[in-house]
Amino acid sequence: MFISTNGITYYVEVVGEGRPIVFLHGFTGNSASWHQPTKMIKNEFQCVFIDLIGHGKTDSPADTSRYQIEKVAKDIIHILNVLNISQTHLVGYSMGGRVALATSILYPSRISSLILESSSPGLRTDEERRNRRHSDELLARRIEQDGIEAFINYWESIPLFASQKKLAIEKQLLVRKQRLGNNPVGLANSLRGMGTGVQPSYWERLCELNFPLLLLCGKLDQKFCRIAKEMCTNLPNAKMEKIINAGHAIHVEQPQFFGKIINEFVSDHNTQ
């Protein structure tokens, strides 16, 4: 279905019945990214998959300010309102994890529990954010100048996704097809408007989150395991799990195990 909010039309899939779980994909992903890892979850919960702004079938506006993470968080809440969801479990991967965290901090009463996969609260210093904005701008220009296929060829080759080369060719091609299905304008502007260099740092606000949290990282992704460990020291109700034989995209590399972990965690905290 399509839901319009604040001038943007979002594509939203709703499957299953029961208590809701909202899933937010990562950069270059879309709602289909969650289909395989949530096969068992859909039997017990209502799964809501949202194509984030600039991705999938959702609008890709030219105005980069519309991609600001606070505005996207507000869009998520409007979508929940349209779906008559007063409170939800929230799952976010990488970029989607940053959106999920922002939504949880800005609208905590709407969140039952939060699961972050390979994500972060942003960068701590102005210098780090400035450097990241510069590198993201270079990537955005690369998309615009070279085209989406050349960019995806590059994106698939970065060390962050090296562990995905071990996947079956059929699965690698499926992920590639999802990435290529995105709008180049949307991807470029997501980097400019929603990248880590422009989002606020939420490190100092982690202590405000009083609901259950699960931080997932792939054992092969040392950077995000380090971030998750540091986040745990600032979160009063957080649990961290390292997933063996997985890198940055656990839900892609270990989909059944990922689904099992989400199912068990949400079931344990499904009190309302």
The Cα 269–Cα 272 span in angstroms is 8
Enter the DSSP assignment of 82: H
Backbone angles phi, psi at 179, to 5 degrees: -65, -45
Label residue 230 exposed, middle or buried (CB < 10 Å: 0-12, 13-18, 19+). middle
| Assigned token pair, 217 | 């990282």
Q: Identify any residues that bridge with 116 across adjacent strands, giving them in sequence order.
A: 92, 215
Angle at 2 between CA 149 and CA 68, to 5 degrees: 65
CB 53 within 8 A of CB 186: yes
d(CA 122, CA 125) in angstroms, rounded, equals 9
**Tokens matching residue 44:** 């017990």
List Cβ neighbours of 102 (8 Å cut-off, separation of 6 or more): 69, 70, 72, 73, 199, 200, 202
d(CA 71, CA 99): 10
Q: Would you state the pLDDT for residue 157?
A: 87
Domain coverage including residue 184: 2-268
Measured in residues, the chain has a length of 272
Q: What's the rounded Cα separation, in Å, for the pair 120 and 10? A: 24
Quote the CA–CA distance of 124 and 25 in Å, as a whole number: 23
Residue 233 backbone dihedrals phi, psi, to 5 degrees: -70, -15
| pTM given for the model | 0.95
Tens of pLDDT, residue by residue over 136-186, are 999 999 999 999 999 999 998 888 888 888 888 888 898 899 999 999 999
pLDDT in tens, 5-55: 989 999 999 998 889 999 999 999 999 999 989 988 888 899 999 999 999
pLDDT band at 271 (very low <50, low <70, confident <90, very high): low
Q: Are strands 8-15 and 46-50 parallel, antiparallel or unpaired?
A: antiparallel
Question: How many domains is the chain partitioned into structurally?
Answer: 1
Token look-up 């709703």 returns: 14
Is residue 52 within 8 Å of 25, Cβ to Cβ?
Answer: yes
Query: What is residue 160's predicted lDDT score, i.e. its pLDDT?
Result: 81
CATH of the domain at 263: 3.40.50.1820
